[in-house]
Amino acid sequence: MTYKKLIPCIFIYQGKAVKWFDNMEVLSEDVVELAKKYSESGADELIVFDLSTTDIEHDKSIDLMKKINRLIRIPMIAGGNIRRQEDVKKILYAGAKQAILNFSKTTGIELIEEVSNRFGQEKIAVSLNDFDRLYKSQHLIEKFASRIVFMHRPDLDSVTNTTNVPTVILTDVMEEPEVFRILKCAGIEGISGRYVSQSELDLLAFKEKCEEQNIEMISFASRMDFSEFKLNSEGLIPVIVQHYKTGEVLMMAYMNHEAFETTIKTGKMTYFSRSRQTLWVKGETSGHFQYVRSLTIDCDKDTILAKVEQVGAACHTGNPTCFFQPLVGNDLDEKNPLQVFESVYDTILDRKQHPKEGSYTNYLFDKGIDKILKKVGEEATELVIAAKNPNPEEIKYELSDFLYHAMVLMVERGVTWEDITKELADR
C-alpha cells in the first residue's frame, strides 16, 4: 500500500516567502517561522524553492535553508537557481534530503549525471512541467534521480504511466475535490502547492478527511490498541520520557486512552494530569514541547518508553531533566559522549555570545577565522605526528585538542553537532 504525503512548499525571494514562483507577493516575512509552522502542523516533508537570480541572493537562501533544517522535524527537499555541481552541494550540505534539478532548463539535464554520480541517485530529484520533456528524459530520470516534482496537469495518468519514479504533484489548484483526485492517482507519492501550503490549513484535520476518502496518509499509528495495555488502578499507564539523541531520562508522567490517542494524532507528547484530572500537552504554556520520535511498550505492557525531541527544558524548574537531585551514589564518571560534545560546544558558543576576559576561546574568536583555521591545521599536524608514535596516550591528548579547535570552527561557521551526526547518519 502506498501512503500519501502532504508536502507544503516555500518559495524564497529576497529573503522572504512569496506566494508562488510567478507571484512575488509576500506570504511571510519570516521564512524560518513559516517552515516551523508547517513542520509542527502535520506536514510530512517540505519543499523549498530558491527564486534568486544572483549568487549573493542564492547564498542568502542557502543560509535560510540551513536555519529551516535545524528547526523542522520533517525532511526538506530544495531546488532553484542550480547552475553547477557546487549549487547542489550547497543545498545538500544545508540539510536537504534531496536537491531538485529543473528539467525545464538544459542546465538541469546537463548536470544530472554528474551530480547523481557525485552525491548518489537518492539525493537527486527533478522538477518538470512538460509531459513531452518527461517522455524524452525518462531514461535519464530513472537512471539518475529518485523523485519527480511535476507541475499539475489534468491528464495525470500520462505522467504515472510513463515512469515508475515516485512523483509529487506541485499544483496551484485550491478545490478540495481536485486535491483528493490527485492523491487517489496511482503512482502519486504526495501533493504540494497552494492548497496544502495555506498557513491556516489544519493538515492533521485534512489528513482525516483524506482517510474518509479512502486515501491512506502517512501518520503515526500504534501497532497495539490501548485496550491491550495493563493500566493501574486509575486507568492510567506510566510513561518514561527519554531524549532521543542523548538517552537522558527527562521525566515521567501518565497517559489515559485520550492522551495516548492525542499523542499519536498530533506527534506532541500529551499526558493526563492526575492532580487536575485533565489532559495536558507538554509545553503548551512554556513552549517546551516534546515531539514524538518513538513509543515503545515494555515486556509486561504496563509502561511506555517515549523517545522525544525536547524543546527547551523538560522540567518546570528550568532544569534540562526532572531527575537532577542526587540521592545515593555519584554519576560524575558516567560520560555520555554526545552529551560531552554538546556541553563543550555549548560552552564555546556561550563564550562567543558572552565574551569572558582572559578566555582562550574568546582570543580565537577575536583573531578571526584565519587564526582559527591555522590552529585547526596545527592541531591536525600534531595529531598525525602523535599517531606515528607508539604511545596511544599522545593520540588521546592531541585528538582532544584537535576536536576542541574543530568545535571553535563549528561555532564560528554555525555548524552544530546535530548537523554532523545527521550527515553521518545519512551516509
- Residue 203 counted as domain residue: yes
Burial of 128 (C-beta count, 10 Å sphere; 0-12/13-18/19+): buried
Domain boundary among 310, 328, 361: 310
**Is residue 38 located within the same domain as residue 127?**
yes
Write out the chain's pLDDT in tens, 427 residues: 568 999 999 999 999 999 998 899 999 999 999 999 998 888 999 999 999 999 999 999 999 999 999 888 889 999 999 999 999 999 998 989 999 999 989 999 999 999 999 999 999 999 998 888 888 888 999 999 999 999 876 667 777 677 789 899 999 999 999 999 999 988 899 999 999 999 888 888 898 899 899 998 877 778 788 999 999 999 999 999 999 877 889 999 999 999 998 998 888 899 999 999 999 999 988 989 898 988 999 999 999 999 998 888 899 998 889 998 888 776 555 566 777 888 899 899 999 999 998 899 999 999 999 999 999 999 999 999 999 887 788 898 899 999 999 999 999 999 988 888 877 776 6
Q: What is the DSSP letter of 186?
A: T
- Residue 378 counted as domain residue: yes
Secondary structure of 303-330 in HEC code, one letter for each residue: CEEEEEEECCCCCCCCCCCCCCCCCCCC
Burial of 413 (C-beta count, 10 Å sphere; 0-12/13-18/19+): exposed
CATH number reported for the structural domain that contains residue 363 in this entry: 1.10.287.1080
**Is residue 194 located within the same domain as residue 233?**
no
- Residue 328 counted as domain residue: no
Q: Which long-range contacts (CB under 8 A, 24 or more apart) does 310-318 make?
A: 310/243, 310/250, 311/283, 311/287, 312/283, 312/286, 312/287, 312/288, 313/288, 314/241, 314/250, 314/251, 314/288, 314/290, 315/250, 315/251, 316/286
> Look-up: residue for cell 522538477?
127
**Is residue 282 located within the same domain as residue 154?**
no
Q: Hey, how many other C-beta atoms are within 10 angstroms of the C-beta on 399?
A: 16
pLDDT of residue 392: 80
**Is residue 12 located within the same domain as residue 72?**
yes
Q: What is the DSSP letter of 267?
A: S
Can you tell me the distance from the alpha carbon of 240 to that of 307, in angstroms, rounded to the nearest whole number?
9
- Residue 388 counted as domain residue: yes
**Is residue 30 located within the same domain as residue 144?**
yes
CA separation (Å) from 269 to 160, 204, 239, 248, 314?
38, 15, 10, 17, 12
Domain boundary among 189, 212, 235: 212
- Residue 415 counted as domain residue: yes
**Selection from 85, 53, 90, 83 nearest residue 69 by Cα:** 90
Contacts for 264 with CB less than 8 Å, ≥ 6 apart:
219, 220, 221, 222, 295
CATH number reported for the structural domain that contains residue 182 in this entry: 3.20.20.70
pLDDT of residue 79: 96
Q: How many structural domains does the chain have?
A: 3
Can you tell me the distance from the alpha carbon of 135 to that of 158, in angstroms, rounded to the nearest whole number?
9
**Is residue 104 located within the same domain as residue 162?**
yes
pLDDT of residue 339: 77
Domain extent, residue 400, equals 337-426
The grid coordinates of residue 325 equal 537531585
Q: What is the DSSP letter of 185?
A: S
**Is residue 292 located within the same domain as residue 396?**
no
Domain boundary among 181, 212, 243: 212
Can you tell me the distance from the alpha carbon of 372 to that of 410, in angstroms, rounded to the nearest whole number?
10
**Is residue 70 located within the same domain as residue 149?**
yes
Can you tell me the distance from the alpha carbon of 67 to that of 57, in angstroms, rounded to the nearest whole number?
16
pLDDT of residue 271: 97
pLDDT of residue 4: 92
pLDDT of residue 154: 63
Note the helical H segments in 311-391.
337-353, 360-367, 369-387
CA separation (Å) from 70 to 73, 170, 196?
8, 25, 22
**Is residue 29 located within the same domain as residue 147?**
yes
- Residue 195 counted as domain residue: yes
Q: How many residues does the structure list for the chain? A: 427
Q: Is 27 helix (H, G, I), strand (E, B) or coil?
A: strand
- Residue 198 counted as domain residue: yes
Dihedral sign of CA atoms 321, 324, 328, 333 in order? positive
**Is residue 24 located within the same domain as residue 110?**
yes
Q: How many alpha carbons fall within 13 Å on the CB side of residue 152?
A: 18
**Selection from 163, 210, 166, 162 nearest residue 188 by Cα:** 166
**Selection from 233, 231, 234, 207 nearest residue 218 by Cα:** 207
Q: Is 237 helix (H, G, I), strand (E, B) or coil?
A: strand
CATH number reported for the structural domain that contains residue 290 in this entry: 3.10.20.810
- Residue 321 counted as domain residue: no
The grid coordinates of residue 72 equal 523542522
**Is residue 122 located within the same domain as residue 203?**
yes
CA separation (Å) from 333 to 206, 313, 339?
50, 23, 13
**Is residue 398 located within the same domain as residue 276?**
no
